Amino acid sequence: MNARFELVRGRRSSDGRSAIAAMGREVRAGLSRPPRSISPKYFYDAEGSKLFDAICDLPEYYVTRSERALLEEHADSIVGLAGARALVEIGSGMARKTALLTKALCDRNASPIYIPFDIAPEAIDESARVLLDSHPRLRVRGVVGDFGHDFGRLAIHAPPADGTRLFAFLGSTIGNLDEEAAPALLRSISAIMVPADRFLLGIDLVKDSSLLNAAYNDAQGVTAAFNKNVLRVLARELDGEIDEAAFEHLAFYNEPLQRIEMHLVSARAQTMTLRAADLRIELAAGERILTEISRKFTRASTERTLAGGGMELLEWIPDALGMFALCVARKAVLRKA
pLDDT at 13 over 70: no
Name the pLDDT band for 153 (thresholds 50, 70, 90).
Answer: confident
CATH code of the domain made up of 60-208+297-331: 3.40.50.150
Whole-number pLDDT of residue 241: 93
The predicted-structure confidence for 128-140, as pLDDT tens digits, reads as follows: 888 999 999 999 9
For the chain, the average pLDDT equals 92
pLDDT at 152 over 80: no
Whole-number pLDDT of residue 335: 65
pLDDT at 163 over 80: no
- Residue of higher predicted confidence among 153 and 293: 293
- Average pLDDT over every residue of 197-221: 97
Whole-number pLDDT of residue 96: 75
pLDDT at 12 over 60: no
* Residue pair 203/239 in contact by the 8 Å Cβ criterion: no
CA atoms 87, 178, 191, 25: torsion sign: negative
Question: For residues 38-67, b (16+ Cβ closer than 10 Å) or e, as one string?
Answer: bbbbbbbbeebbbbbbbbbebebbbbbbbb
Residue 142 three-state SS: strand
Name the pLDDT band for 146 (thresholds 50, 70, 90).
Answer: confident
The predicted-structure confidence for 120-130, as pLDDT tens digits, reads as follows: 888 888 888 88
Whole-number pLDDT of residue 337: 54
The predicted-structure confidence for 51-100, as pLDDT tens digits, reads as follows: 998 999 999 999 999 999 999 999 999 999 999 999 999 988 777 788 99
The predicted-structure confidence for 249-300, as pLDDT tens digits, reads as follows: 999 999 999 999 999 999 999 999 999 999 999 999 999 999 999 999 999 9
* CA–CA distance, 113 with 304 (Å, rounded to integer): 31
- Residue of higher predicted confidence among 175 and 93: 175
Q: Which residues contact 91 (CB under 8 A, 6 or more apart)?
A: 117, 118, 119, 147, 169, 170, 171, 173
State the span(s) of the chain assigned CATH 3.40.50.150.
Answer: 60-208+297-331
Residue ranges in 109-179 assigned as alpha helix (H): 121-134, 153-157
* CA–CA distance, 231 with 82 (Å, rounded to integer): 42
Whole-number pLDDT of residue 229: 97
- Average pLDDT over every residue of 224-239: 97
